Amino acid sequence: MGANTTAVKETIKRLGIEVPSWAYGNSGTRFKVFSQLGVPRDPYEKIADAAQVNKFTGAVPTVALHIPWDKVKDYAHFAAYAKDLGVTLGTINSNTFQDDQYKLGSVCNPDPKIRKMAVDHLLECVDIMDITGTNDLKIWLADGTNYPGQDDLRDRQDRLQESLEITYKRLGPNQRMLLEYKFFEPSFYSTDVPDWGTSYLHCMKLGPKAMVCVDTGHHAPGTNIEFIVALLLREGRLGAFDFNSRFYADDDLIVGAADPYQLFRIMNEVNRAGGFDVGTPVSYVLDQCHNIEDKIPGQIRSITNVQEAVAKALLVDRVALKKAQLEGNVLAANDVLMDAYNTDVRPLLGEMRNEIGLDADPMKAYLASGYGAKIAAERVGGAQAGWGA
């Protein structure tokens, strides 16, 4: 694989991938949620499961929270508990889409009382960030309309901007707002933040602490996501990834499951822009639901898929690629990418894990640990966590 394998391993060693607390709860489709044995019953048990993923991959320094799904009485105690398990609390995700009042929208709702309710929740999330010492507030909005004429499209953008400005002003000096986009669902005529451009425009108006979050599952079929990533990186406005995979819509599948070559292409653009350098502003987060597969193994597979894509991207011979591009040698340039993509990096990643005292095969090591059987036996009784809890 060449002389740069040492550099590849060192980059992967410091690459942190945040996991979502909600991935460990029960989830499903709008038709059915399937329960599993050993699912966490509270936010503390979610953190314990996330710590297991970190234990066997060495790649999970932080855990994202969703409020109010992960509400606790004492956030300082919660943060200390996570630290004791070897992880820290990460991105705070807001929720303005599950209350009955939000039927016609949250921060874009025509009713000022409901908009205030939504903004108050966003400010509450910043309060939690202050207590836990976390830096990122992620906002995804289900706001939109189902029918032409239902509401004024321009007025909704004005309401959105006003609400975001109130929240932005509340951020501390080291805190950021990450504005996520999604082209449809649950609103089917118009969505108030439907694409990267809308998110980018609002972030530019807000200021430097507002950045775009790219969820890899939130695009129409055939969208060139790596182009979006390249452009946002060029403008210095890519704040975070939400990694998952899709076949049709927002499927929230294991990242790299549907199109691992696409994931590689995205990581290639990230590497081209220095997105894996020390001090990068880009954060890497999983956003997935494991509906039928086991929760912890699903997260481990996602982590290893991201690591493999990053390793392959780091193996791209950038000198040869640039030479072929400048010469207009189309096939040679494509060959450089394909050579890196077709490299089996699993032995390299196994060596890297051994170097930091881990088993070369995280999945095998986890399954042999007996943790899954342990929590299935211990977590009997109480209400299991799930989508919306």
Q: What is the pLDDT of residues 60-69, one digit of tens each?
A: 999 999 999 9
> 317-323 contacts: CB < 8 A, separation 24 or more?
317/2, 318/272
Q: What is the mean pLDDT of residues 187-193?
A: 97
HEC profile for 129-142?
HHHHCCCEEEECCC
Q: Which residue has the tokens 């079929």?
A: 221
Instruction: Write out pLDDT tens, residues 336-363.
Output: 999 999 999 999 999 999 999 999 999 9
Q: Which residue has the tokens 């040679």?
A: 332
The structural domains of the chain, ordered by start, are 5-378 (3.20.20.150)
Taking the C-alpha atoms of residue 36 and residue 27, their distance in angstroms, rounded to an integer, is: 10
Structural tokens at position 77: 């105690």
Taking the C-alpha atoms of residue 214 and residue 275, their distance in angstroms, rounded to an integer, is: 14
Q: Are strands 210-215 and 238-243 parallel, antiparallel or unpaired?
A: parallel
Per DSSP, 60 falls in state -
Taking the C-alpha atoms of residue 100 and residue 102, their distance in angstroms, rounded to an integer, is: 5
Q: How much is the pLDDT for 388? A: 56
Q: How much is the pLDDT for 29? A: 83
Q: Is residue 335 predicted with pLDDT exceeding 90?
A: yes
Q: Is residue 2 predicted with pLDDT exceeding 60?
A: no
- Mapping DSSP to helix (H, G, I), strand (E, B) and coil, where does residue 371 land? helix
Q: Are 286 and 20 in contact (CB under 8 A)?
A: yes
Taking the C-alpha atoms of residue 287 and residue 369, their distance in angstroms, rounded to an integer, is: 25
Instruction: Write out pLDDT tens, residues 117-127.
Output: 999 999 999 99
Quick one: CA torsion of 73, 74, 80, 85, rounded to 10 degrees? 0
Q: Are 289 and 23 in contact (CB under 8 A)?
A: yes
Taking the C-alpha atoms of residue 47 and residue 34, their distance in angstroms, rounded to an integer, is: 21
Q: Using alpha carbons, list the distances in angstroms from residue 18 to 38, 65, 182, 311, 337.
A: 22, 10, 21, 18, 27
Q: How much is the pLDDT for 4? A: 85
Which residue type occupies 286? L
Q: What is the DSSP track for 274-323?
A: TTTSTT-S-EEEE----SSS-HHHHHHHHHHHHHHHHHHHHTS-HHHHHH
